[in-house]
Structure 1
């Protein structure tokens, strides 16, 4: 564990930042390349703990990876998947995207992870696999074993995806390799972070797969090959949001390159910063966010971008009036119970925090620094860094938690905030 005092700038934070590739897109690209009908070359992939674990997971099933001289990675799928052992770490993408691939191997594959990972929900994904003809034992939490038979019958399934859109994406990503494809429905209409399902469908279609939303809460994937495809991964816009947020409490201006076309939650990200008082300017290829030094209290619906919850909570604790966050009850099952963690840490700093059924109510009060618990959660680490913009002495108990999606976060943050 690496302690780190979040820098508090003397004046406006002004600068341009570069963030690494999207974790969501990198994970999906690795999975689809592993399922493809030939080698795929991926450029701009994120190199972080989660994506390294994803590569190791796929390698244990027979996939090979070749580092190219230009920094790209060539992914070569095996002729047949082999059973293996999969360390999920604390990564939801691995425990939810890789079991359907393991079901295509002929033999048992054990899934395990960090101690905290056993608290992350996985049962709906396993339920969908069981309905598609796969045997999993024991059922419900890590560790578990997928008993592959070399093929998955597929067909129809209905799951509860109220805990994570990854349950839907995990099934859709491999469904073209099921004998009968997949017709997937929901047992409840609640699905958080729906834009991530759109990203999954778009990446499937880019590889020639017949995949579509067949109704308001239903999807279908036809059986067939998944074409190999060379691809460049776009930047991670949630990680970008942390840096853009630095402009708000410091009356600064932060800019970065921004993709012209993306299925990441652009409108939710920039809309949230605007609702909190940021002035957003967009050109076809860039975004700039300016702050006035005053953060507005606001009622934020983060249903489509729950990964913003931690930094939004820190900003609301610095606001000019009370605010709230809703639509994020499912993040109690993320890397940690984020709502409980935010309540604990922000209360310790002096803020007025109350959990609701699906979010938080936040009342700004004078704040003090102190040790900020990160709970092995990169987003909690980001929240502490944002709070430190206006509160001296916020000391993260482990800035290394940011290695999950951005190993160089502390250096990049310090270069922007306290150059």
Structure 2
């Protein structure tokens, strides 16, 4: 049975300043590209969390060297030695389960991928079918899920491949990250409904270009990566703006104010949309030097938002919507049913548990604010659900949260930081 955490409750507005850990999305992309590079790379201020540790361990398994020394991690590229048979633990990290198999195809050895129980339920068919189409041998007993084994031959021919990445942009980013090291590069065509979370694809392209990789994305639905070296590169990791959402939301639901330190003026992070989302709820949002300051209104407006490109923000946005003064509608997020949990069902269940009203739509949620009462909220081993629960608890006295420790996936020590924020 998971532990119960008493979520802090505020009767007055929050007025706080927060500094965020590094971006998980940038950290894990930088780790992969550093492992594929032509020399030694350094990451400054990376996120040190379960997901990034799993990525570092996975790359070590494949023959890279990752040395962690406080706020600086050093990566020496894959050694090229034969691995024999080995295993990668993906935990519940989508970036590890999707990004690492195309890299494993480049090594000489049989690499088995497995992870948490829920990881075996997450969509993997696109990764496996795309690698098979590129000539990579995959052994999965016909499951199209974990566990599976990538039998690498030391190289991948590469070339054109057609995929449906509508379930996750990670399927696309995975191929692009490894593609420069394939003999013919890679030419990815997407066929299917629109790819969600496109800011994450933009981040992938930015990180590739920083390392001298030639990428052509001029044709809609097609991405071409030229074969060639990946230059070693020293990265300064941005603060994680998706993790900022809980603190922005905390200010919104208490009618308060939050200053988020070192918010980048230009970024590919999906979390940057919190500036627009907070404004949609009625907040005043402004830069003050390097910081972003969000000042809540007296009453939160309902919102109508398409979150296709920023689906990971949905749980916290839904928590705010449940405390607004008018109904909200969040759409474009059908793909969230395949995330750490079925986030649409989970949000409907937990908000309803508190007395709220939530309707599941084909591609989202319709949320009608109702008076909320205390409850013990489940988090489903999902860090974003835990963030949403913390936000609800800030406004609803005596809220309890199961397994708040699941936030260590992307934000170690979140509960302690939140308690200081709410004090």
The residue aligned with 2:214 is 210
User: Please, what TM-score do these two structures have when normalized by structure 1?
Assistant: 0.97
- Contact 2:241–2:272 under 8 Å retained in 1: no
Which runs of 5 or more structure 2 residues have no equivalent in the other structure?
A: none
- CA drift of 1:7 comes to 0.6
1:341 and 2:342 equivalent?
Answer: no
* Cα distance in 2 for residues equivalent to 1:367 and 1:97: 40
User: Please, what TM-score do these two structures have when normalized by structure 2?
Assistant: 0.96
Query: Runs of 4 or more off by more than 4 Å in structure 1?
Result: none
| Aligned length, in residue pairs | 417
Greater CA drift, 207-216 or 30-39: 207-216
* Cα distance in 2 for residues equivalent to 1:112 and 1:232: 31
Superposed CA RMSD in Å reads 1.2
* Cα distance in 1 for residues equivalent to 2:227 and 2:273: 34
Greater CA drift, 283-292 or 350-359: 283-292
- Contact 2:51–2:93 under 8 Å retained in 1: yes
The residue aligned with 2:326 is 321
- Contact 1:247–1:290 under 8 Å retained in 2: yes
* Cα distance in 2 for residues equivalent to 1:33 and 1:116: 29
Of residues 227, 239, 242 in structure 2, which corresponds to 1:235? Answer: 239
* Cα distance in 2 for residues equivalent to 1:81 and 1:404: 31
Give CA deviations for 1:88-117 in whole Å, capped at 9, x if unaligned: 000000000000111011121000000011
* Cα distance in 2 for residues equivalent to 1:2 and 1:16: 29
The residue aligned with 2:419 is 414
* Cα distance in 2 for residues equivalent to 1:252 and 1:345: 25
SS at match of 1:304: helix
- Contact 1:260–1:284 under 8 Å retained in 2: no
SS at match of 2:329: strand
- CA drift of 1:267 comes to 5.0
Cα gap change, 1:214/1:125 in structure 2, threshold over 3 Å: closer, same or farther?
farther
- CA drift of 1:266 comes to 5.3
Of residues 165, 171, 190 in structure 2, which corresponds to 1:186? Answer: 190
SS at match of 1:388: helix
1:101 and 2:106 equivalent?
Answer: no
* Cα distance in 1 for residues equivalent to 2:259 and 2:301: 21
- Contact 2:105–2:156 under 8 Å retained in 1: yes
Of residues 128, 131, 138 in structure 2, which corresponds to 1:136? Answer: 138
Give CA deviations for 1:244-300 in whole Å, capped at 9, x if unaligned: 111112111101121132111355221111111221112452111011242111111
